[in-house]
């Protein structure tokens, strides 16, 4: 099932109460698994020595009991789950990255994409730098380390490095004595703070705190640097408020887990509001409303409540198969849809159905799902999408890197409905998508829908060049 790839998920813990930091990180990564199923890793600090383990695969496969037992305790740990939006799929590119340098050592976990990674990388290479990965995360690490040579602390080095980094980056960084959380000045990607006793946590989503019994405190502010050490917590806010906050609105539509709260807004409520807006903008005469698991379910419930059409569970999802969009060929993706989603014939047979999904990218997945609903006896299928049409590339951490495979960019809505086999098709409007997270304390980036990028984007000729260099390195 070809969906948009999530960016990544990060987690960090600084324990002043002697908690098992490795096990806490392991459990938190399970809660963040939806943000990346390609690879994962944990780095731990034991008396100033940073070690770690990472590999391709799911959290439960990479961190078996024997592996966890071999990882020493310590006071600080960070973790990462990954999908590759830049760089190839390989164990080398898995995170956290652990780097030894003249001032000590550092581990870094990154969520997002830099827009000036190619420029910075070329500058470092011309100075003799040798890169071991093909990710922009290593570019961030080099930028910080270079500044560390001129500044008295890791947090001051990060503050200076942020003057050179452009684009999206939510970071959790570990030094021999500190843990630092950083969010770019636009706040493209989520990052929040949790507490349990004297232990401090950072995570991409608040659902990670629920999994380990920690309390959500607040979101890291766009541009903020939060440093945790044995004497307490420090905050650097020199980069705060310099740019309009621009959280990726697709966090609410699809990326985040439904029980998370991001920048003050409930993901579940946002999705239900998206469904309600859809019902107002694109009503349908139908017998039942169903959602495509998982992110389409809350939107379907919102559509049902607003329209008065009964809601029901229309699909059973096989939980033992990974997200099928990571299958390498179209034939395999189609086969994975058949295994992953099974329609409930008693719900749809002989009925006109409103089917809610979160997005349409290539259109092949939507076409296949509509087909299996008709095979199950649905007389009509009216598709409603809880996001606007994808029309533009994303440079901030998702894998929409060109217009080439965006079917909505090539076809009008009525033509697209015919292509995917729907009786009718309706998208959320760009105006309504800005209103779904009604209690949010931030602004949103919707450039993939509108083309209104909040920061300068890479020149088109630079992006392919950068990718070619990566593939050849």
Interval 242-287: pLDDT, tens: 999 999 999 999 999 999 999 999 999 999 999 999 999 999 999 9
For the stretch 128-175, pLDDT in tens is: 989 999 899 999 999 999 999 999 999 999 999 999 999 999 999 999
- Confidence at residue 203, expressed as pLDDT on a 0 to 100 scale: 98
CA distance 264 to 172: 21
- Angle at the Cα of 425 (from 422 to 426), degrees rounded to 5? 160
Give yes or no on whether 8-246 and 261-446 have one common fold.
no
DSSP state, residue 456:
P
CA distance 287 to 318: 26
Q: Which token pair is 387?
A: 């996001």
C-alpha distances in Å from residue 307, one per residue of 47, 277, 303, 319, 368: 60, 10, 6, 30, 26
- Confidence at residue 339, expressed as pLDDT on a 0 to 100 scale: 76
- Confidence at residue 7, expressed as pLDDT on a 0 to 100 scale: 65
Percent of the chain with pLDDT over 90: 81
| Average pLDDT score over the chain | 91
CA distance 408 to 427: 11
The mean per-residue pLDDT over the stretch 369-387 comes to 97
Cα–Cα nearest to 184, from 220, 233, 208, 141: 220
- Confidence at residue 469, expressed as pLDDT on a 0 to 100 scale: 39
Would you state the CATH architecture of domain 8-246? 4-Layer Sandwich (3.60)
In the set 8, 40, 192, 445, the catalytic residue is 8
Domain ranges (residues) in the chain: 8-246, 261-446
For the stretch 304-335, pLDDT in tens is: 999 999 999 999 988 776 544 444 455 655 66
Q: Which token pair is 281?
A: 């903008």
Task: List beta partners, residue 111.
Answer: 170
Cα–Cα nearest to 170, from 117, 217, 109: 109
pLDDT-derived band at 3 (thresholds 50, 70, 90) equals low
- Confidence at residue 461, expressed as pLDDT on a 0 to 100 scale: 45
Q: 205-208: long-range contacts (C-beta < 8 A, 24 or more apart)?
A: 205/9, 205/31, 205/32, 205/35, 205/256, 205/257, 205/260, 205/262, 206/260, 206/261, 206/262, 207/31, 207/32, 207/257, 207/259, 207/260, 208/9, 208/11, 208/28, 208/29, 208/31, 208/32
**pTM of this structure:** 0.91
Decide: residue 423, CB within 10 A, 0-12 exposed, 13-18 middle, 19+ buried: middle
DSSP state, residue 253:
I
- 240 an active-site residue? no
CA distance 89 to 413: 35
Would you state the CATH architecture of domain 261-446? 3-Layer(aba) Sandwich (3.40)
pLDDT-derived band at 405 (thresholds 50, 70, 90) equals confident
Cα–Cα nearest to 370, from 315, 320, 440: 315
- For residue 236, the surrounding DSSP H or E stretch is strand 232-236
């Amino acid at each position: 099932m070809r969906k948009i790839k999530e960016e990544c998920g990060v987690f960090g813990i600084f324990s002043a109460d002697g908690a098992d930091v490795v096990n806490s990180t392991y459990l938190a990564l399970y809660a963040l698994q939806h943000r990346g199923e390609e690879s994962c890793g944990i780095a731990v600090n034991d008396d100033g020595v940073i070690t770690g383990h990472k590999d391709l695969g799911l959290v439960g496969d990479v961190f078996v009991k024997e592996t966890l037992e071999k990882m020493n305790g310590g006071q600080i740990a960070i973790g990462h789950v990954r999908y590759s939006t830049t760089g190839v799929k390989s164990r080398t590119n898995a995170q956290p990255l652990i780097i030894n340098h003249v001032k000590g050592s550092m581990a870094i976990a990154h969520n997002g994409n830099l827009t000036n990674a190619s420029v910075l990388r070329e500058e470092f290479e011309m100075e003799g730098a040798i890169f071991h990965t093909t990710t922009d995360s290593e570019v961030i690490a080099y930028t910080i380390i270079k500044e560390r040579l001129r500044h008295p602390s890791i947090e001051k080095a990060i503050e200076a490095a942020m003057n050179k980094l452009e684009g999206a980056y939510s970071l959790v960084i570990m030094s021999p004595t500190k843990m630092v959380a950083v969010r770019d000045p636009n706040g493209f990607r989520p990052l929040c703070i949790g507490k349990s006793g004297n232990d401090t946590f950072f995570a991409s989503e608040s659902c990670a705190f629920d999994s380990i019994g920690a309390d959500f405190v607040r979101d890291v502010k766009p541009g903020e640097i939060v440093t945790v050490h044995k004497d307490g917590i420090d905050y650097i806010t020199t980069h705060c408020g310099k740019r309009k906050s621009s959280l990726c609105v697709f966090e609410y539509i699809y990326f985040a887990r439904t029980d998370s709260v991001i920048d003050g807004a409930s993901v579940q409520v946002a999705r239900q509001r998206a469904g309600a807006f859809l019902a107002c903008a694109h009503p349908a005469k139908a017998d039942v409303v169903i959602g495509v698991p998982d992110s389409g379910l809350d939107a379907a419930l919102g559509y049902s409540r607003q329209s008065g059409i009964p809601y029901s569970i229309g699909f059973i999802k096989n939980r033992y198969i990974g997200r099928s969009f990571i299958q390498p060929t179209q034939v395999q993706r189609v086969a994975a849809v058949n295994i992953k989603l099974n329609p409930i014939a008693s719900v749809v047979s002989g009925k006109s159905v409103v089917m809610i999904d979160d997005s349409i990218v290539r259109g092949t997945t939507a076409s296949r799902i509509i087909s299996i609903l008709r095979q199950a006896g649905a007389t009509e299928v009216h598709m409603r999408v809880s996001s606007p049409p994808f029309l533009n590339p994303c440079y901030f951490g998702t894998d929409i890197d060109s217009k080439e495979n965006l079917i909505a960019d090539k076809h009008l809505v009525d033509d697209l409905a015919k292509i995917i086999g729907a009786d009718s098709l309706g998208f959320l409007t760009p105006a309504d998508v800005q209103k779904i997270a009604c209690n949010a304390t931030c602004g949103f980036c919707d450039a993939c829908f509108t083309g209104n990028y909040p920061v300068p984007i890479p020149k088109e000729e630079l992006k392919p060049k950068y990718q070619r260099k990566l593939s050849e390195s």
